[in-house]
Structure 1
């Protein structure tokens, strides 16, 4: 009899060997990015750190500022209608112009004289060093009002001045009162006082430059004048500008003392109008205050852009302008709000 045949397999299929183990899985597929991502547990959401006390302090400051603004707006003692009347009056603007002129002349002359005094302090000549030190010591010790009053009464000591040979005959002589007008007295007094402080600011800025910069400039064979103007002084300005602008802001406010030498600047005009109109003393003082705030704010804006200019090469990124900071702050606030809404 014929032996029974095994059942036929499907077409194209072959029976697996009886002793061959099942194929191993692909190691690349088991360790690939998709497999790792599937096997890794889901990362928990990132929860930003909470700052409750920061919000409490912010709310307290906002409430305090709102109370101050409300008090300024509702208190009739300030007489804001009279403030608006006096703010752009021609007499006030004339005093403001005198303040600007005296400040500008004194700032420029004081800075130039301060640079010369600083260079004399750093000179190798002992006479220049001693004279510069004595000048700075004297005018930093004497109050500005004393300097102004002394110059105002200078004609009592010297009725005439002359030009000629030292300790010898004079060629030209003229009366001191013809030159020493009220504006000249104010500018000279502020310049002498300002130069003493500017000299120390400039000297500190020059000393802040690394000694290696001096040596590198000397090794290039540059003249000393070019070493100072092209290498040393531009680097020193990064330290000079913030300190000197701070001093310049003090100079703007110091011009209020020229009222005592009969020069009607902004403060002198306000004082004079306050004596004529006693009922408007407070609004007149507010007018002077606001104008001084505007002047010092303008100086601060100029300071920011000058510092930003000279920070190139010293910082990896130039500091952003206030408008750029505002845009970045708004953008960060939007991103934070979206994250908190998603949580």
Structure 2
């Protein structure tokens, strides 16, 4: 951390004026250290760290120069897992905008409420959700919508990236308490509410994960995504980027247990983040015995307690990695 140009009170540095590293710089660091190493895999597609960095730079530049996004603006993202969603997180962080991912299974009206409640300025929406884009435009009077794929409601994300490749937006100063992510609750007991995650808070979470949850994690490792990037899995992948760990994203939108274990074997996956329900499905499927999963060192589950019987079964199948 370094001291900002603003005046600090006598006796120390004011927490509000203490500058921290922009979370998007983790991607930049991995791109500089391991430019030609694979950083992200989605199905049969692969991107090196330098390619990811270039795509994030391009989208960040487009958000600023073409759509007028400024620090503090909220960008709603409605999409299932894909590389564009992953990139959009870092593009928002890079320019000081706030990433507002939805649960993509929510209805158009539910997502429209998130657009309104978050004060979203713009939206990145997968082409498969035109009704969601329309509902959000009506509810929040968005300035722009970008489509992931070809759609009538906005320009294509990948076309925009191609047009802005080689350009880089200037990152504004980022401070510890600047928001980076509105993490919405499920709304099971009322309307969803946004937990405001900040750059400083998430930098601490990343450090905590690397020191306490996954010590020794580094560029020779691989992490597989078995949950939506919009929530806990997105936090987990931030940690991977910080230490140059490649992310493996299954091609199927729905959970395909056999495909997960096949990818674990193929990429020698060393860690995954999940919830007890999914972990139970992973260890009870016969495919767990067909593929080599000896590369796993850390299987992290969260969100709910796990039944002791299921814990024992998981330990018996996977070893002491939970």
Shorter-chain TM band: under 0.3
- Length-normalised TM-score, structure 2: 0.25
TM-score (norm 1): 0.24
Q: Relative to total residues, which structure has the larger helix share, 1 or 2?
A: 1
Highest relative contact order (Cα 8 Å, sep 6+), 1 or 2? 1
- Please identify the structure whose Cα radius of gyration is greater: 1
